[in-house]
Structure 1
Amino acid sequence: MTWKNLTITNNLPPLSSDYSASILPNGIIVYFGGQDNDTLAKMNDIKLFDTKKNEWSYMDATGDYVDSRWSFASVLTPDGYIIIFGGCTLNRTSINTKVAVLDTNKSPYEWSIPSSSKANSPPTIYGHTANLYYNYMIIAFGYDADNRIYNSKVYLYDITNNTWVTRFNPSPSPSPTRTPIFTPSSTPSHDSPKFLKPLLIGLGVVIGVIILICITIFIFCKKVRKVESPVLEIAGTTIESRS
């Protein structure tokens, strides 16, 4: 694995930090939020980088208003939704909208704020992690901006129903609306062919040895038959009388 510098001069975005970056299946990296030159970027200002063409482009997302933030976290669902949680203002204070969803299936992309996500919502957290496991977005660590303490709790967000939950069922549902990007799956075992090959080789050797022994015995017996036993001549007998 080696690093490679890209020489790109057209449509370069401003220097940014503490933003969200998610790569879509089509090879497009979606950037939004964070700080641009020490100023909070608008959440509807979407920066796009095409990893196949090595080109930058920009999009103005539509939909619900999502207040600017930095130091937030996001996950990408298999069906093309980027779910964000948390973050803070430039002064590290609480934000109004904690959960928002960006639909990348639409053109332009569209923001929405699930109303059900406000019930049982955790405090405003920034500098945390967000990971997708089956149908759950798992929030951990970070700093609680509401209570001014480090966060030691783990929060679960059900992405299928857009609700915060307190019980965790790791088993995936038979036909979920949204499923994780990577799901554990069983792969066919290849152990049988590995053991079958040595077995066939050993069996072939044994059969070959048996055949060789049989041939050797056959040749030996044939040679013995060709050697006649000595005949004792008795007076008064002939060859015919002996036979």
Structure 2
Amino acid sequence: MRDDTNSFDDGKSILYSFSLETNRWSTPQTNGLAPGRKRQMNGVISNKTRKFYVFGGFNDTNNTVLKDMNIFDIISSTWLKGSTEGSPSSRMGYTATLLSNGIIVYIGGRESYLNEQQRDADINQLPLYDTKIDQWSLMRARGTLENRYSHSAVLTPDERIIIFGGNTNDLTIPVLNQLAVLDTKVNPYEWSIPKPAPPLPLTINLHSATLVGNYMFVNFGKIYVEDKSKEQLPYFYILDIRDFTWVTQYEPEQHPQTPNNSKQIGIIIGVSLGVGIVAGLLGYVYYKKQRVHKHAKQAEQCVSYN
């Protein structure tokens, strides 16, 4: 997306805020040094630290995969820099999932090597970032899984990370196991494939996934099909995570309305560049004086990106 003023090429990041109370957009004034333009990154917000964390991404200006940790303090609207000691060399097209213990788990993606060439990152080597102490570590997960990027991830209430879709170095070849589960309650974490293997829709990447109750909603994205006449497919799929079956109907549960004095904010950070590329989308809901509604808690974990 470009205009005559070339506003998307000035190297500046773009930050928007959307109020769920007023349904209005705003452009917050921020402090500190904002990160430069980037895409194919993924961010999370911690309700405990009141901060947004985003690592790496891809810089079109330099054609490089980045390795910086940018932190946005929601309370003071200030940009900060996090530690990169022990972090991955670089990363884009990954997923980032925040666990209840404050650890961000980075899964898959692409990385740079040998004069900025790119390759799939080892999905079984999991970079972990501790938001409480600003420290990186690396864990080798048990089990094996195909490398992938531009996939999605959601966190279940029992701390399992479900990933879906994505693609490998060859964009025309789908990954063998589109659905996989990472158990973070064991040490080291462990990959598994849902059994029996469910019937899967066509390979999807650059999509978003959101968990609502026991259902994972897979929205939009890109589908690779040899027969172009079959491209008229649903805009979303629904997965029942209790038995890993795809469903065609969903009846939402009824819950009490949110208190009127709660504060709800959504933030979008990034730039819109290229074809089918939308940078980091995150949802953030917090209450100043009220306990977090259980579904708002899930929304806090949901981060989508393309």
Equivalent residue, structure 2, for 1:45: 125
Q: Is contact 1:117–1:164 with CA below 8 Å preserved after alignment? A: no
* Residues 143 and 49 (structure 1), Cα distance of their counterparts in 2 relative to 1, 3 Å cut: same
1:102 to 157, 162, 182: 182
Aligned counterpart for 2:202 among listed residues 104, 123, 128: 123
1:184-208 CA-partner distances (Å, limit 9, x unpaired): 5557899xxxxxxxxxxxxxxxxxx
Change (3 A) 1:104 1:67: same
Higher helix share: 1
Alignment-derived partner of residue 160 in structure 1: 242
Alignment of 1:71 onto 2:146: no
Q: Is the 8 A contact 1:140 1:152 kept in 2?
A: no
| Residues 1:57 and 2:132 are matched in the alignment | no
* Consecutive unaligned residues in structure 2, runs of 5 or more: 1-73, 113-117, 262-306
What is the one-letter code of the residue matched to 2:152?
A
> Offset of 1:66 from its aligned partner?
1.4
- SS class of match (1:5): strand
2:165 aligned with 1:83: no
Are 1:35 and 2:110 matched, yes or no? yes
Q: CA deviation at 1:146?
A: 3.4
- The whole-number CA distance in structure 2 between the counterparts of 1:113 and 1:35 is 22
Deviation of 1:171 after TM superposition, in Å, equals 2.8
Deviates more, 1:137-146 or 1:8-17: 8-17
Whether the aligned pair in 2 keeps the contact of 1:143 and 1:151 (CA below 8 Å) is: no
Equivalent residue letter for 1:36: E
Q: Distance in 2 between matches of 1:89 and 1:42?
A: 11
Q: TM-score, normalised by structure 2?
A: 0.54
Does 1:19 pair with 2:94? yes
Higher strand share: 2
Retained in 2: the 8 A contact 1:101–1:111?
yes
TM-score of the aligned structures, taking structure 1 as reference length? 0.67
Please provide the CA RMSD for this pair: 2.2
* 1:33-58 deviation line (CA, Å, top 9, x unaligned): 00011110121110000001000000
Are the structure 2 counterparts of residues 9 and 126 from structure 1 closer, same or farther at C-alpha, using a change threshold of 3 Å? closer
Between the aligned residues of both structures, percent identity stands at 41
Q: CA 1:171–1:42 in structure 2 vs 1: closer, same or farther (change >3 Å)?
A: same
Query: Is 2:251 the counterpart of 1:169?
Result: yes
| Structure with the larger RCO, 1 or 2 (CA within 8 Å, 6+ apart) | 2
Change (3 A) 1:9 1:155: closer
List gaps (5 residues or longer) in structure 1. 173-183, 191-243
User: Equivalent residue for 1:201?
Assistant: none
**Distance in 1 (alpha carbons) for counterparts of 2:162 and 2:154:** 5
Distance 1:90 1:150, change over 3 A: farther
Mark the structure with the bigger radius of gyration: 1
**Segments of 4+ moved more than 6 angstroms:** 187-190
